[in-house]
Structure 1
């Protein structure tokens, strides 16, 4: 695998499972030092042991990113311990879909807190560090990659709260892209369809609701999304991949 992220540092949220975990593996394999962030400390340590055994430099940060102070600490610890910050992958997410009458306001609030507010907390405090890295060797470009969803492009019954958060992720990504493009901070959004992760375990019946809508299809793997993230981050400085929509082949 090409080691073209040597000398750079990546912070990945939601790294205890799914897309975040796969992205940490992929960016570490490309040569980046990685700060892996999530709430589940034991899982972070297991991933850290795995990556260190392969020769990667890893910092674990146990944090609830819905807390602005915790998000600030995660970013500042990364810069303090690893020396810089070139890449942020916001992969932490929560999906609580189902009939709107059965969902609670707390369900919606939790999705807003994790999917949108946590992403904003991390992005805001990371911006000055990313902008600084974009002016430095070895790459003279920095990346903020936000994991949204096809639910951030297309609304559907039973997904109103999730749609609201993921439309928000897609919108803030595009606004930041326009704001910082001239400073070589690339802001990208990845919008997956059905992926085989724990996301569908967050609310009982979510997988069945998806199958009722789309039928039984072969889902994407988290590693497929991580490969899309790596494509964005390892692109040459002159090339900005603004948006990737990636679905299972059978998903319409």
Structure 2
């Protein structure tokens, strides 16, 4: 990880959970980390928490459903930091919105954040990497086990569809980078059940979310951050393309 010290990473959805854990690890490894979220106050708190670390946190308010917000963020990164070296597409959300009874607005929001926002960020990040000559740049897609299989619960079916799209995007990005003769790498990380705020936001029922997280020994946010640091620290000729990581006790 020494070669990444002083270089620039973008982490979307950085205010809580997996995103915040990734910010902590990258900053502790000496990177300048742009943390973006709609809730900038929590990223400001992360900046204070990590003020004595080797790297630094640069908080940015950004709504990934708004393309202009994203473009403004990348303009700032290029102007103030010289451009992105690592892009971590962590932001994602789920609504309990079944295919045959869900609300269209919930489907649209999942598509806008999980697919469109992720793809815009990847496009702009790769553009900056190439402009600055960061041919060893790295793009991460925070995918899900739900991007590899469909569980019976109808509440997760549309979310799963968006994550299957992320799986396809990862292969597509890899192919396009190869066509460019680029050494920029792409890694998709697909967690199973991670104990974060995710289920509380999806279920909108604290008792159900708590019961889910108590049903097995879940992964923790740091487990996913560890996996990302492993892939980022691999030799430049080795692309860790897919990481599937689930709790030992998880059924599927």
TM-score by length of 2: 0.90
Aligned residue for 2:31?
Answer: 32
- Listed as ranges, the matches of 1:2-151 within 5 Å are 3-97=2-96, 99-100=98-99, 103-133=102-132, 135-136=133-134, 140-151=135-146
What is the match of residue 239 of structure 2? Answer: 240
What runs of 5+ residues in structure 1 fail to find an aligned partner?
Answer: none
CA contact (8 A) 2:97 2:107 kept: no
3-state SS, counterpart of residue 243 of structure 2: strand
- From 149, 170, 173, the equivalent of 2:167 is 170
Q: Deviations over 1:15-73 (max 9, x none)?
A: 00111111111111122111000000110100111122324222111010111111111
1:156 to 148, 151, 156: 151
Match of 1:110, SS state, is: helix
Does the Cα contact within 8 Å between 1:11 and 1:88 map onto a contact in 2?
yes
C-alpha distance after superposition, 1:192-239 (max 9, x if no partner)? 000011111113259848967x98111100010011111111111111
Shift in alpha-carbon separation, 1:98–1:72, aligned structure 2, 3 A = closer
CA distance in 1, matches of 2:127, 2:104: 34
Using the size of structure 1 for normalisation, the TM-score is 0.90
Determine if contact 2:30/2:53 at 8 Å carries over to the other structure: no
CA RMSD after TM alignment: 2.2
| 1:245 shift after superposition | 0.2
SS in 2 for 1:114: helix
Deviation of 1:171 (Å): 0.8
Determine the C-alpha separation between the residues in 2 that align with 1:154 and 1:44.
33
Distance 1:51 1:161, change over 3 A: same
Measure the CA separation in 2 of the matches of 1:144 and 1:131: 13
- Contact 2:74/2:124 (<8 A) preserved: yes
Give the aligned partner of residue 180 of structure 1: 177
Q: Which SS does the other structure have where 2:248 is aligned?
A: coil
User: What is the CA-CA distance between 1:101 and the residue it aligns to?
Assistant: 5.1
Deviation at 1:100, TM superposition (A): 4.6
Shift of 1:10: 0.3
Which structure 2 segments of 5+ residues have no match? none
Query: Could you say which residue in structure 1 is the equivalent of 2:224?
Result: 225
